[in-house]
Amino acid sequence: MTVQNENPQELYLEKLNQAIENDEIDFFRKNFLALHPYDQAKFYVTLHEEMRMRLYTYLSPKEMSEVYENIEELDDQKNLISEMEPFYAAQMLASMYVDNAVDVLNELSAEQIASYLALMDAHAAREIKQLLHYEEKTAGSIMTTEFVSIETHQTVREAMDILRFEAPTAETIYYIFVIDPSKKLVGVISLRDLIVADGNDKISEHMNEHVVSVSAGEDQESVAKIMKDYDFLALPVVDFQGHLLGIITHDDIVDVIDEEASDDYSKFAAISDVDAVYKNPISAAKKRLPWLIILLFLGMLTASLIGRFEKTLEQVAILAVFMPLIAGMAGNTGTQSLAVVIRRLATGDLEEESKMRLIMREAGTGLITGSTCGLLISVIVFIWKKSLFLGFLVGFSLFCTLIVATVAGAIIPLIMEKLKIDPAVASGPFIQTLNDILSVLIYFGLATTFMSYLL
């Protein structure tokens, strides 16, 4: 007989479930609070509502805030906060890092936001309000105001005293930002440099004056690129006069990168929101239908073009056999080129002077792949159909189509970027449908021109 060993983690969580059911508060608190906050959040979202209502009586708003901050889905956060007693929820939000609390509140209605802010203490509410007015997906909307700053005239010993006092509530202490008496950002000093410096030295003697910062209105995608390029753990955010407003930490940027990648993938797949897969079918369909309807009309344009070559098809029906092959290859190579360019644009590796080089490189790639695939299909068609000219026509059409599709895949996102449209909107289905139209025009245009050789 085989005995299956149960997962120790599952057994542990089962004991926590039993502790809630049996109202064993001390046992639950001891074991639940020993878990990592991420594991606490995973356990919390699996509970049914009755069990969660008990859990709120076991944990203080401060303890609950650490659990709540680690819930991955904003939709889950929005739904779960609505079941909490309003005062408890407000105190929990006030205990969270300000930027995380703002992320949650941005998902709620104006009435809910006003209610929670009214129930918080004045200091917490004021800090949250400061961030709420920043436009979404900007540096100001993702920064935190919980950081450590010191002034240039202070000594290293005084700075260490400030750090000890503020560290428990600061989101990060690895960088300490230096300001002048008017609160303008003038330097930065690392925790390491602060520790090894002499206690009587002035901060101005050790700080780095060359500080990289971003404005509050900077797009979050640009902020992510700066932090990636410089390998920063934190990045200061300033206003137009250089006053230090807050900092953006690496964990916030990880969330931004995940959000931007999801957004780009959604657009690349012609879906409004890739996360709609987690919603019900009606919601998912609403997200996808707009693009599908656009692509449907583009498909009708392709069908009408084929209809214009009806006489050509009637005279040489064999041409229809190779139409899916040419259209499919055009879509594939166009999508490959599109992916390369969008990736370069997204990472910021594509400078203005290199755009023409990129187009020429993609054109060269299309020339090589077109020549290779065109020659190969010519030989195959000749052997298969015993027609030299048919083989040449299919091969030359494929050659021309692959070059045009590759160049189109490179140029279209560059044009969109120039017009201030997100290049990811030039999605795979969109470029594939466009290349279908181009391939039909090339293939049947050549076939009609050289019809006498086919008959």
- Structural domains of the chain in order of their starting residue, each with its CATH number: 8-133 (1.25.60.10), 149-264 (3.10.580.10), 274-454 (1.10.357.20)
pLDDT exceeds cutoff 80 at 314: no
Q: Which helix (H) or strand (E) holds 327?
A: helix 319-347
Query: What are the start-end ranges of the H helices in 60-109?
Result: 61-68, 74-83, 86-95, 98-105
The answer to whether residue 362 scores a pLDDT higher than 70 is yes
Among 399, 412, 389, which residue's Cα sits nearest to residue 439? Answer: 399
Kindly write down the DSSP assignment for every residue of 339-392, as one continuous string.
HHHHHHHHHT---GGGHHHHHHHHHHHHHHHHHHHHHHHHHHHHHHH--HHHHH
25 or 339: which leads in pLDDT: 25
For 120-139, the pLDDT digits (tens) are 998 889 989 988 888 888 89
Round to whole Å and give the CA distance between 140 and 138: 5
Residue 211: band (very low, low, confident or very high) from pLDDT cuts 50, 70, 90: very high
Alpha-carbon span 265 to 233, nearest angstrom:
26
In the prediction, which pLDDT does 428 show?
61
Looking at the predicted structure, is the pLDDT value of residue 351 above 70? no
Residue 223 has pLDDT above 60, yes or no: yes
50-64, 85-99, 312-326: least confidently modelled range: 312-326
2, pLDDT greater than 50: no
More confident residue, 335 or 5: 335
Mean pLDDT of 131-155: 89
pTM for this structure?
A: 0.60
Q: What is the pLDDT of residues 235-251, one digit of tens each?
A: 999 998 999 999 998 88
User: Percent of the chain scored above 70 by pLDDT?
Assistant: 87
Task: Give the chain's count of helices (H) and strands (E).
Answer: 22, 6
Instruction: Count Cβ atoms within 10 A of the Cβ of residue 11 and give its class: 0-12 exposed, 13-18 middle, 19 or more buried.
Output: exposed
**What average pLDDT does range 293-299 have in this prediction?**
75
Q: Per-residue pLDDT averaged across 372-397, rounded? A: 91
pLDDT at 3: 43
Percentage of the chain exceeding pLDDT 90: 36
Q: If you average pLDDT over residues 179-200, what whole number do you get? A: 92
Please name the residues in contact with 233: beta carbons below 8 A apart, sequence gap of 6 or more: 172, 174, 175, 249, 250
Half-sphere exposure of 300 (CA within 13 A, CB side): 6
Cα radius of gyration rounded to whole Å, the chain:
30
Q: What is the pLDDT of residue 1?
A: 40
Q: What is the pLDDT of residues 251-291, one digit of tens each?
A: 888 877 777 666 665 555 555 554 544 455 776 667 667 76
Given pLDDT bands bounded at 50, 70 and 90, which one contains residue 75? confident
Residue 407 has pLDDT above 70, yes or no: yes
